[in-house]
Amino acid sequence: MILDTLPRFHLAEFPTPIQYLGVLTKKYNGPDIYIKRDDLTSLGMGGNKTRKLEFLIGEALEQGKDTLVTAGGIQSNHCRLTAVAAIKAGLECHLVLNGTKPEIPNGNLLLDKIFGAHLHFCDRKDRDKKLFQVGDELSLKGKKPYVIPVGGSNSIGSVGYVKAMQELTSQLNDMKATPDTIVFATSSGGTQAGLTLGAKITRFKGTVLGISIDQIKTGENSFPPVLAQIANDTAKRIGFDIQMTESDFSLNCDYLGNGYAMPGDLEWDAIKDLSFHEAILLGPVYTARAMGGLLDLIQKNYFTKNQTVLFWHTGGTPELFAWADQYSEKII
């Protein structure tokens, strides 16, 4: 493999810690619950997109680009971290955000502005078109834009989570711990594709289970083919001879609730559980939905009491502030 020779721009300190959630484990009477803290990556209030951006920006710099362009929702963690990473790399940053520009920015959007990103608002249906339109307009102005897909989820960004799986394996060996299942939030696909491919490479014997935030498992717009495509493109990029299929991916789509960025009781209860019992914050869009799913699965005896589960916290803390008006009713 050529994993360690790919262009990379250092953005954070790794490894991120693994912690045992003893109080939560006791409350739910097993299985043993551990957490991998990618919310503690040392860049712009943390989050998993930092791992992807190290490789995306590495390629952008190698190609002589001077501007990053990416897209997401108004509270996108990926967009916030892209804005911060651009500063570290000396690049300009443009963000295409689907939604209506609010009178007062909050959460990730406030940070986007603080970090000096150029913001472009649009309807969700126009986002992909607008992303490349902004790139083309910058080119006409003499800029050299590097366009990053939503979530940094392509074969370049996904390399970051192949590396992350290698990091986890080393930590688990030192701890002499063996999780039966790794659980995490999955949305645009790069994290799950990288972790699942990384599990193949490291010969991890457990299950790599993504709790879907906004994607479906079957039907016309099913998600597994996207995961397989990203993983196979990533394997080719790093020189790993494997062909993955849809059946290689474990995906739970039972917790979509009212839709993307529409938290309900599942998410509020998970935020309350982690904050009150473990002093750990979850974001209402991604990690609270995934943790809520995990806790529900525990209560449904999906795991046995003598098993071990590792929750991969992918970040999203700044999202909390954008839903402050709902916390007084749901949590406080």
As annotated, the active-site residues are 76
Distances (CA, A) of 206 to 32, 150, 308: 15, 29, 10
What does the CA dihedral 126, 127, 131, 137 come to, rounded to 10 degrees? 40
CB 83 within 8 A of CB 93: yes
SS3 (DSSP) at 308: strand
Phi, psi of 196 (to 5 degrees): -70, -40
Cα–Cα dist 207/198, whole Å: 12
Phi, psi of 122 (to 5 degrees): -160, 170
Tokens encoding 331: 């949590």
Give 140's contacts (C-beta < 8 A, 6+ positions apart): none
